[in-house]
Amino acid sequence: MAIAERGYRRWEGRLRGRALRWWIIARWGVRLSGQSKWLRRLVLAAWLPLLYWVLAFFAIGQVTDPETIGAVEDTWQFALLKAQFGGALADAFVRDPASFRPTIWATLFYFYLYTTQVWVMLVTAVVGPRLISADLSAHALGLYFARPITRLDYVAGKLGVVAFWIGAVTLGPVTALYGLSILFSPSLEALSQTIFVWPRAAGACAVVMVGAGAPVLALSSLTRNPRFLGFAWAGLWVLSHVASTVLSLAIFRIGGAEGRDWTGLVSFFRNLLAVAFRFLEVETKLAPAARLSHRASRWMERYSYEHDWRWSLCLLLVGAALSLWVVARRVGRAAEEGAQ
Amino acid sequence: MIQARGLSKWFGQVIALNGVDVRIGEGITGLLGLNGAGKTTFLRLLTGQLRPSQGSVTLFGEPIWNNHRLLRRIGVCPEEDAFYDLSGLAFVACLARLSGLRRAEARRRAEEVLERVGLGPHRHRSVRAYSRGMRQRVKLAQALVHDPEVLFLDEPLTGTDPIVRRELRELIVALGAAGKHIVLSSHVLHEVESITHTIVLMHRGRVLADGDVERIRALMDEHPHRVRILCDRPRTLARALVDRPHVVGLELTPGALVVETDDPADFFAAVPHLVDATGVEVDELVSEDDDLAAVFRYLVERS
Amino acid sequence: MIGQLWTVATLELRQAIGGAKILVVVLMLFALAALAFAVRALATPPPELGPEAFWPAIYLLMLNFVFLQTTVILVPLAFATSLLRNDIDQGTLVYLWTRPVPRPTLLLAKFLAASAVSAGLLVVGMGLFCLAFLLPGGDPSGGAFDWLGRTVDFMAAAVLGAVGYGALFALFGLVFRRGLIWGIAYGFLSEFVLTNFPAVVREVTVMHYLRAVALSGVDVRSLGLRFDPEDLAEVERLLGFLDPPSAASAWATVLLLAGACLVLSACVVRAREYCAAPARPE
């Protein structure tokens, strides 16, 4: 007996290449999550501190202009530079911009990345929790997997959504800042001396996107009720940071333990920052300045990490890989349950 | 019993209820309207869950908003399919306690009403494991448990199968017969029609009509009624009808004639003579405006 | 009325204990106990500081930093900001709102239950923390430090924090649609940053008074911290202050604040609409 198939009709047209299917999920995810007024406000708020850095680079451009060198001591631009870097370093920079430009740029970009970490935490706490748990609770996985989409496409698409929003508060402003800083520079020499900054800062941002994006997806896949996940996620960041500080104080700073302080590895913040610190080569770039300036040497002491940055990178990448494995497993299981 | 005067409710820039003036008396009253008509908003205003943006609503002569004493006299069966994670008995007994009943009394009343709504054998099972029909019953039970004078039932029959629907309908009619005043909302017209003839028709946040169905029909008498006549020679019949004083419109369709008349009584009296005179063979004569659906359609179209 | 209060409180307790929220909080408390264990196992007193001075200082510093400044804010934040939000999201608010109980009474019952859960969790968490710190090697101060007494002081501060922050965050949850986010922002800015400011600024924070209760039995100067002045300044900053208000006035101040927040919450809940489902026009 012939059965008239009246349900699914095979698509006769051409399908898009497999490599881009995750992109559709990511694009629609970004569009949907972008409807949140809160998220848009948060991203806007994250860009506001950039104004200070723009001003700083504008000042740097002005004081290093060959036409004005020697006559900048009384200007507000120089005052700003002094307030930021201290008199000794500011003086040295104005006298010899070529030698100190990499120091100044690397430090300023690192400081900017430092401030973005709180925004990364908040943005992921707002976007991340619903990404998969909402699909689970709405039984929407069937909608995805009824199409020629694999679990990998799905996970990559969702990671793309959270990475986009992390990028919006890290990579986006960093790129804009780099573009403006080049525009403010008096000559193309600045570009050649600081060409390392953008790719390295972008690399650090990419680590943040994956390192912070994947774990929040894993959390999201663990429950169908996302209401409390934002809190749990923010709690994880804060508590890991507090634990790291307490361990450092108790074991190394007050306690009498010898050896390198490894406690930064416990903190989510510090692992991300340790990678950015190394990527931007802040330590190497600050070293010549530290010999001149007390403030620079203090920065070296305060911001450098005693533990090997490669451990941080390794922890972040292993954490991300584990998280994505959890997501793929949970999604696969949920899809199977839905199909039964 | 219930009176709304110039009652309006808006959420931001959306007007959900617009200048409603209505009195709801004793007995069972059906609140009818399509989805989005403003029924749930109206019920929430009537039960003190929302505050009027403008106008007033009173129950037994008192405003209901922030009047917790008045809430003792009402029972609400909400539309939401939401429950605490308790057994049926614990759920109803817990809400009975909130209504002011003592522990033992609350439990006794809960058992009683659960029995009444047909959930007696299932009272120890978790509410979340109940079927849709059982959940509707347990919601009804919690509304009844403190023996209120007025019951507000928001879409009580929605999502239930025909058997449960019939049983719930019978239960509501029985409650009405036992002296409870009931306001129930629905968008399914024939359901309401089978429970009560007193209705409030709502559309787009306004009350289109209220009162007895017959009264509404009387209101409609100014409006041409449509009568469909299935016959072998509709054209001949149309020719005979065209000069009749109360016939205001004729429409020929294959095998049928649709007549619009502003005096149905005169028209129906005249039809036998006309049929006799023309020799047309009539198979069926249907008044298109005969049921509540027509009343609703007419009023909605007019609005 | 007592019966009604008790019923609402029981429902709130069931909601608080039954959800994933409590699982996260319990995991967090176990993680903190593990932290105490790790510190005890890994830290060693410096040569210039004997164990009788080092371990009590570290213990107080950890209780202050890990509990008072972090967990005592986070736990009430989790439970108090969602007093009505749970019922709104689940659609069960209609059952409470249509019963003959004044709304402020319903709110009070919910607040009491949520505060009890927060306080209970914090006290148990501190107990675990203390056990994890002391169990590995016994009393490291050789009887010179009153571990139990000081822990009880911190527990008292935590209970007070559960009430004070609970009332404040309950108000946030009623006034703001996203009370949790506002609570996090407040907790971070006001209590985490301002509390480390000098003099008058920190006196407007709840934390200032909680520290007074927690450290009522300790004179920071007498801890025997004899290392270099910069570190001492750091420890003093972390422990809070050297001249706290009295414990009694701290209790009175926080309870007064909680009372004021509850009165405000009662006014808000009477004046505002909270609907079981999202306030969408039908």
Q: ipTM of this model?
A: 0.82
The number of beta carbons lying within 10 Å of the beta carbon of residue B62 is 10
Q: Testing the interface with C: which of A221, A223, A228 to mutate, by most C Cβ within 10 A?
A: A228
**Mean pLDDT on C196-218:** 76
B59 with B105, same domain? yes
More confident residue, B290 or C40: C40
B209 with B234, same domain? no
CA C244 to chain centroid: 19
* Residue-wise pLDDT tens digits, A38-70: 899 999 999 999 999 999 999 888 887 767 666
Residue A280 reports pLDDT greater than 70: yes
Longest dimension (CA), chain A: 96
Chain C residues with CB under 8 Å of A46 CB are none
Task: For residue B60, report the phi and psi dihedrals to the nearest 5 degrees.
Answer: 50, 35
B166 with B47, same domain? yes
For chain B, the chains sharing at least 3 beta-carbon pairs closer than 8 angstroms are C
Question: For C105, which residue in chain B has the nearest alpha carbon?
Answer: B68
- In this complex, whether B and A touch, counting 3 or more CB pairs under 8 angstroms, is no
* Residue-wise pLDDT tens digits, B101-159: 999 999 999 999 999 988 889 989 999 889 888 999 999 999 999 999 999 999 988 87
Structure tokens at B170: 């019978």
B14 with B152, same domain? yes
Give me the CATH number covering residue B42.
3.40.50.300
Q: Considering just the CA atoms, what is the radius of gyration of chain A in Å?
A: 24
Residue A1 reports pLDDT greater than 50: no
Sorted by where each begins, the domain ranges of chain A are: 20-339
Residues within 8 A of C (CB atoms), B 201-230 only: 205
B259 with B150, same domain? no
In our burial notation (b when 16+ CB lie closer than 10 A, e otherwise), range C147-182 reads beebbbbbbbbbbbbbbbbbbbbbbbbbeeebbbbb
More confident residue, C197 or B162: B162
Q: What is the pLDDT of residue C226?
A: 43
More confident residue, A86 or C198: A86
**Contact across the interface for B11 and C279, Cβ inside 8 Å:** yes
Structure tokens at A259: 């050896």
B155 with B18, same domain? yes
| Domain span including residue B279 | 221-302
Provide the shortest C-alpha distance from residue A281 to chain C (in Å): 29
B231 with B206, same domain? no
Sorted by where each begins, the domain ranges of chain C are: 2-271
Residue A304 reports pLDDT greater than 80: no
Q: How many helical (H) and strand (E) elements, i.e. helices and strands, does chain A have?
A: 16, 0
Of residues C24, C39, C227, nearest to A250 (C-beta): C39
Percent of chain A residues past pLDDT 70, beyond the cut = 94
Sequence-distant (≥ 6) Cβ neighbours of residue B181 within 8 angstroms: B1, B26, B27, B28, B29, B149, B150, B151
Structure tokens at B83: 């429950």
Of residues C14, C91, C102, nearest to B80 (C-beta): C91
Q: What is the pLDDT of residue B203?
A: 84
Q: What is the pLDDT of residue B303?
A: 53
Sequence-distant (≥ 6) Cβ neighbours of residue A277 within 8 angstroms: A110, A283, A303, A304, A305, A309
B43 with B187, same domain? yes
Rounded Cα distance between C96 and C145, Å, is: 50
**What residues form DSSP beta bridges with A259?**
none
* Residue-wise pLDDT tens digits, B41-95: 999 999 999 999 999 999 999 999 989 899 999 999 998 888 988 999 999 999 9
Longest dimension (CA), chain C: 73
Rounded Cα distance between B187 and B155, Å, is: 8
Q: How far is CA B220 from each of CA B129, B190, B213, rounded to the nearest angstrom? A: 47, 19, 10
Last residue of a domain, one of B150, B179, B213: B213
Q: What is the pLDDT of residue A8?
A: 54
Residue B265 reports pLDDT greater than 90: no
The answer to whether the CB of A313 falls within 8 A of the CB of A204 is no
User: pTM of the full predicted structure?
Assistant: 0.81
B–C: how many Cβ contacts below 8 A? 97
Provide the shortest C-alpha distance from residue B211 to chain C (in Å): 23
Last residue of a domain, one of B213, B247, B280: B213
Residue B212 reports pLDDT greater than 90: no
A–C: how many Cβ contacts below 8 A? 90
B40 with B174, same domain? yes
Q: Which residues of C touch B (CB under 8 A)?
A: 3-4, 7-8, 10-11, 14-15, 18, 90-92, 94-103, 270, 273, 275-277, 279-282
Structure tokens at B40: 């749930």
B180 with B230, same domain? no
**Contact across the interface for B98 and C96, Cβ inside 8 Å:** yes
Average pLDDT, chain A: 86
Question: For B37, which residue in chain C has the nearest alpha carbon?
Answer: C282
The answer to whether the CB of B155 falls within 8 A of the CB of B192 is no
Q: What is the pLDDT of residue A141?
A: 84
Would you say the C-alpha torsion A306, A309, A313, A315 has a positive or negative sign? Answer: negative
Residue C239 reports pLDDT greater than 80: no
